[in-house]
């Protein structure tokens, strides 16, 4: 098992956090994991992406250039990274913002209306968790229990009150793929 | 101790505390700012001092002063900030004071950018400041090594009474990987040379001014003897799949991770490739490099610079086989496939 992911979107969409959560969940399952951010100097806006590797063997290169899984939270990210996805790879995309579906053949795709689901939960900011929930349900990359456990570790103290909301978002995303 | 998922910069900062360091003086600069950020919170918890200086010039001179009292102390910066510190580093080396310096390299020259780079290799290993001196320079390639080599750096600094640099980069500083810290905290050695108040003993003087050439020459000879001992005792290198390798890729730091993926892919395609990764880039592990290339027809040095370590590799191999350079500059990161392409070119024509 060797998953090489790129998660991408606007700055502020919670891309980095989503990636860290997956890496942490993988570590809790004794897998080899790595996470690397890539972003500009701005705090919000602009583009942000991170590389995450979750593997049964030691990770040689932590920088992902040809992902087996792309998680795209907006249209520019989907357009930018779609060509780099491995043959037979998977694209999970936020169809609320990425309105043009991937056009490539030979890859698997999963459309998740992330913003719509997040807004139904009453907070559009958990779109990242909706997408992670869908990804985990679809791929079994890590277990949902590990993601829940990681949430307790990765969220800073002053954000712990948001754990129930984040869990609901993860579950709502997963529900979408069942 | 349980594994933690940490950024390289944070792991390095925590490792310094594990090594018994309680003093940090620095000035913020991307991509190393997580180090002072972390220490500004953490050092007061362990009775230490975190101080943000008004400039890098000031920070290195604070390190100079603290090191003179025998305290374990360090500073961290990124490329342009390290250049500003270079005068102070020369003074510290001249006075034979132990301290740890961290360079989380970014793209240069000039203000450059905030992308990862290895363009300060020559500066770190050959020209960090004026005068005949050397730093010991350690090049980590993972978050775990960011921690482990930092702890070793403090020990080496005390052992040789010399500044030791951890030569990192923006990839290693900002990436997260699992890291483990050993429970064992090393005990720093006695420092009878330190300036601690001189009550009940002869006074100690720390000084780098020696007007008489003969006196300064004697100081230099002492430094050189120390560097010779470091060369003899401290060289470290990781050779991977080199035993039967016909083509050896040499790389250090984060670039060695990318090169390793390329070497593994080459092996899976039936090419006898191997990886030689110097861990101490000063002293340079010449014998281990020669050993890695004993069966090789050619060597390719991949770096995130225009080709700097390549000259050390050539010296180590004494022109026995062709040594090529493949570098990316300005914060551009090579991909495993690009390195694989270079390996394949050599497979056909090793001498070109």
- Structure confidence by residue, pLDDT tens digits, B82-95: 999 999 999 999 99
Closest chain B CA to residue A154: B5
How much of chain B exceeds pLDDT 70, in percent?
99
Residue among A33, A36, A65 whose CB faces B171 most closely: A36
Interface test with B, best of A31, A62, A150 (most B CBs within 10 A): A62
- When mean pLDDT is compared across A169-178, B247-256, B299-308, the lowest value belongs to A169-178
Residue among A27, A35, A61 whose CB faces B3 most closely: A27
Report the gap between the CA of B177 and the closest CA in chain A (Å).
5
Q: How many CB atoms lie within 10 A of CB B325?
A: 20
Do the beta carbons of residue A35 and residue A23 sit within 8 Å? yes
Do the beta carbons of residue B35 and residue B166 sit within 8 Å? no
What residues of A are in contact with residue B258 (Cβ under 8 Å)? 60-61, 63
Interhelix angle A144-154/A15-28, rounded to 10 degrees, is 120
Side-by-side strand order, sheet with B273-278: B237-240, B273-278, B247-250, B298-303, B323-327
CATH topology of domain A2-177: Pyruvate-ferredoxin Oxidoreductase; domain 3 (3.40.920)
CA A67 to CA A63: how far, in whole Å? 10
CA A143 to CA B18: how far, in whole Å? 34
Which residues are paired to B75 by β-bridges? B101
Closest chain B CA to residue A28: B3
CA A18 to CA A45: how far, in whole Å? 17
Residue among B3, B30, B333 whose CB faces A63 most closely: B333
- When mean pLDDT is compared across A29-33, A133-137, A153-157, B254-258, the lowest value belongs to A153-157
Residue among B175, B257, B264 whose CB faces A35 most closely: B175
What residues of A are in contact with residue B260 (Cβ under 8 Å)? 60-61
pLDDT of amino acid B187: 81
Q: What is the mean pLDDT of residues B112-120?
A: 95
**B177/A62 touch (CB, cutoff 8 Å), yes or no:** yes
Q: Is the pLDDT of residue A23 over 70?
A: yes
Do the beta carbons of residue B69 and residue B196 sit within 8 Å? yes
Q: Is the pLDDT of residue A42 over 60?
A: no
Which residues are paired to B169 by β-bridges? B105
CA B210 to CA B266: how far, in whole Å? 56
Confidence of residue A39 (pLDDT cuts 50, 70, 90): low
CA B11 to CA B7: how far, in whole Å? 6
The pair of three-digit structure tokens given for residue B349, joined into one six-digit string: 């024509």
Q: Is the pLDDT of residue B259 over 60?
A: yes
Complex ipTM value: 0.92
CA A18 to CA B8: how far, in whole Å? 19
Q: Is the pLDDT of residue A38 over 90?
A: no
Q: What is the mean pLDDT of chain B?
A: 96
Q: How many CB atoms lie within 10 A of CB A161?
A: 9
Confidence of residue A19 (pLDDT cuts 50, 70, 90): very high
What residues of A are in contact with residue B5 (Cβ under 8 Å)? 20, 23-24, 27, 33, 35, 153
pLDDT of amino acid B185: 72
Q: Which tens digit of pLDDT belongs to each residue from B180-234?
A: 998 777 788 999 999 999 888 999 999 999 999 999 999 999 999 999 999 999 9
The pair of three-digit structure tokens given for residue A56, joined into one six-digit string: 């049964």
pLDDT of amino acid B285: 98
Confidence of residue B348 (pLDDT cuts 50, 70, 90): confident
**Domain regions of chain A by residue span:** 2-177
CA B317 to CA A155: how far, in whole Å? 51
Residue among B30, B171, B257 whose CB faces A60 most closely: B257
CA A12 to CA A178: how far, in whole Å? 28
Closest chain A CA to residue B253: A61
Confidence of residue B327 (pLDDT cuts 50, 70, 90): very high
Q: What is the mean pLDDT of chain A?
A: 93
Domains and CATH numbers, chain B: 4-193+205-233 (3.40.50.970), 237-348 (3.40.50.920)
Closest chain A CA to residue B174: A36
Which residues are paired to B303 by β-bridges? B327
Do the beta carbons of residue A132 and residue A143 sit within 8 Å? no
Burial B174-200 (b: 16+ CB within 10 A, else e): bbbbbbebeeeeeebeebeebeeeeee
Do the beta carbons of residue A112 and residue A131 sit within 8 Å? yes
Report the gap between the CA of A44 and the closest CA in chain B (Å).
17
State the Rg of chain A over Cα: 15
The pair of three-digit structure tokens given for residue A163, joined into one six-digit string: 């754990």
């Amino acid at each position: 098992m060797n998953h090489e992911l790129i998660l991408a979107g606007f700055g502020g969409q919670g891309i980095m956090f989503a990636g860290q959560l997956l890496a942490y969940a993988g570590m809790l399952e004794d897998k080899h994991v790595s996470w690397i951010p890539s972003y500009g100097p701005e705090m919000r806006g602009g583009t942000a992406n991170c590389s995450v590797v979750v593997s049964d063997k030691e990770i040689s290169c932590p920088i992902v250039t040809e992902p087996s899984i792309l998680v795209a939270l907006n249209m520019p990210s989907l357009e930018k990274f779609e060509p780099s996805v491995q043959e037979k790879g998977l694209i999970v995309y936020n169809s609320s913002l990425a309105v043009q579906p991937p056009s490539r053949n030979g890859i698997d795709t999963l459309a998740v209306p992330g913003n719509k689901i997040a807004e139904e939960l009453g907070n559009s900011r958990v779109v990242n968790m909706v997408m992670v929930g869908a990804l985990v349900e679809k791929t079994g990359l890590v277990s949902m229990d590990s993601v829940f456990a990681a949430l307790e570790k990765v969220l800073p103290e002053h954000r712990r009150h948001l754990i129930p909301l984040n869990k609901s978002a993860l579950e709502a995303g997963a529900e979408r793929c069942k | 101790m349980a594994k933690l998922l940490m950024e390289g910069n944070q792991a390095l900062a925590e490792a310094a505390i594990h090594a018994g360091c309680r003093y940090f003086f620095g000035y913020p600069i991307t991509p190393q700012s997580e180090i002072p950020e972390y220490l500004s919170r953490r050092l007061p918890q362990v009775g230490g001092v975190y101080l943000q200086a008004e400039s890098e010039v000031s920070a290195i001179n604070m390190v100079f002063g603290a090191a003179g009292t025998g305290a374990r102390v360090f500073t961290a910066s990124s490329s342009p900030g390290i250049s500003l510190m270079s005068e102070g580093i020369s003074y510290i080396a001249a006075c034979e004071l132990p301290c740890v310096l961290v360079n989380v390299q970014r793209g240069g020259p000039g203000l450059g950018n905030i992308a990862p780079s290895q363009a300060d290799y020559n500066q770190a290993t050959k020209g960090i400041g004026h005068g005949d001196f050397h730093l010991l320079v350690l090049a980590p390639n993972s978050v775990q090594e960011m921690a482990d080599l930092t702890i070793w750096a403090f020990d080496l600094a005390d052992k040789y009474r010399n500044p030791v640099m951890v030569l990192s980069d923006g990839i290693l500083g900002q990436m997260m990987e699992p890291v483990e810290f050993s429970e064992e905290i090393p005990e720093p050695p006695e420092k009878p040379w330190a300036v601690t108040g001189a009550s009940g003993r002869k006074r100690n003087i720390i000084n780098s001014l020696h007007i008489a050439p003969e006196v300064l020459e004697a100081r230099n000879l002492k430094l050189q003897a120390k560097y010779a001992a470091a060369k003899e005792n401290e060289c470290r290198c990781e050779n991977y799949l080199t035993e039967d390798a016909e083509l050896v890729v040499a790389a250090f730091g984060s670039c060695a991770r990318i090169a390793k993926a390329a070497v593994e892919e080459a092996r899976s395609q039936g090419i006898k490739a191997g990886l030689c990764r110097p861990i101490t880039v000063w002293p340079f592990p010449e014998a281990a490099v020669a050993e890695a290339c004993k069966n090789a027809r050619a060597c390719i040095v991949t770096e995130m610079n225009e080709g700097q370590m390549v000259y050390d590799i050539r010296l180590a191999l004494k022109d026995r086989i062709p040594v090529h350079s493949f570098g990316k500059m300005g914060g551009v990161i090579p991909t495993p496939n690009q390195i694989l392409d270079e390996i394949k070119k050599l497979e056909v024509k090793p001498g070109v």
